[in-house]
Amino acid sequence: MTLLFLAAMQSAGHLRVNVSGSMEYQASQEKIVFCILSVGLCCTFLYVNCVLLYTLRTKPVFCETSRYILLFNLLFADTAYLVTSLLLYILAACRLRLNVYVCGLLTSIGVLEDIISPVTLTVMSIERYVAVCFPMRHADLATVRNTGAAIAVVWTFSAGNVVMRVLILVGWKNNLDLNVEMKDFCSKEAMFLAPRSSQVDKAFSVFLFAFGGLVTILSYIGVTLVARSASTDKTSASKAGKTVLLHLIQLVLILISTVYSSILLNFATVDRITLIRIYNIFFVCLNIFPRCLSALIYGLRDKIIRPVLLKRLCGNLSCLAPT
């Protein structure tokens, strides 16, 4: 009887090992599939963004028009953010740890690029509002010089938040050694651990969401009211209204992506496999997708950009431009 009991226990142990090994193997396969899909999708949109960036430097009209200059700045920030996010994602997937200095540099660049996009979208909504509601003054206000000054303000404002985070981190850890390897994978959450940094991040996100959302909504209302007026070009005004509305959707998605780490904390009690699935879904929907809307909004809807972009994307293949 004792021998039978020991044999049964040994069989049960082998069964648990086999089941556990099978689950780990399945989780590893699923992780590889998620990584391939995420990286492949990200690289595809990176290619489209890079082609559009190059396209915006091929004609004088793109370099001398305010909306295209702002679009170039938005695309540049989005593309750089995609590269940084993809790099951090691959490092985490490969279980590679960095020292504090390298991780701090990467995360600071990512935070800077993350802030530039919603602020630029807000400025672009204002530009569309001025173009539709004040067409006679648009040429005087939306000059190349004024647009460059607006972009400089956007970068300065965004850099200020990054500097504030770094100062809080240095003040929180006076004896911070930049050459020490991090205990966890490199991420914004692992780098900026100071409680005050989290509070500043939340306050800044709320301010950015409220200010950007309010300005964009007011711009949309103004453009919509003008579109209903009989004395204006309804087609152009209606198209501008749709563009501003798309900016608002993109703005909401980007601002949600800035706090998606806080959303992930609500799923911290679930098992690791489910958490990885949720993280990958968030990475695609909140990190990649909002950064690719600019190419779709302007690249396919703009009559000047569309034929040039499709020609460069398709190469020698015959592409039919959508009407």
Asked, for residue 6, whether it belongs to a domain, the answer is: no
Q: Which pLDDT belongs to residue 6?
A: 32
Asked, for residue 18, whether it belongs to a domain, the answer is: no
The whole-angstrom distance between residue 293's C-alpha and the CA centroid of its chain comes to: 10
Asked, for residue 316, whether it belongs to a domain, the answer is: no
Asked, for residue 92, whether it belongs to a domain, the answer is: yes
Report how many domains make up the chain: 1
| Closest to 306 (Cα-Cα) out of 51, 66, 60 | 51
153-173 per-position pLDDT tens digit? 999 998 988 888 878 777 666
The residue ranking higher by pLDDT, 57 or 4, is 57
Asked, for residue 157, whether it belongs to a domain, the answer is: yes
Asked, for residue 97, whether it belongs to a domain, the answer is: yes
The residue ranking higher by pLDDT, 229 or 160, is 160
Torsion of CA 225, 230, 235, 240, to 10 degrees: -20
**CATH assignment of the domain containing 212:** 1.20.1070.10
Q: Looking at the predicted structure, is the pLDDT value of residue 76 above 80?
A: yes
Asked, for residue 300, whether it belongs to a domain, the answer is: yes
Asked, for residue 165, whether it belongs to a domain, the answer is: yes
Average pLDDT, the chain: 75
Domain hosting residue 242, numbered range: 30-311
Q: Which pLDDT belongs to residue 149?
A: 94
pTM for the whole structure: 0.80
Q: Looking at the predicted structure, is the pLDDT value of residue 239 above 50?
A: yes
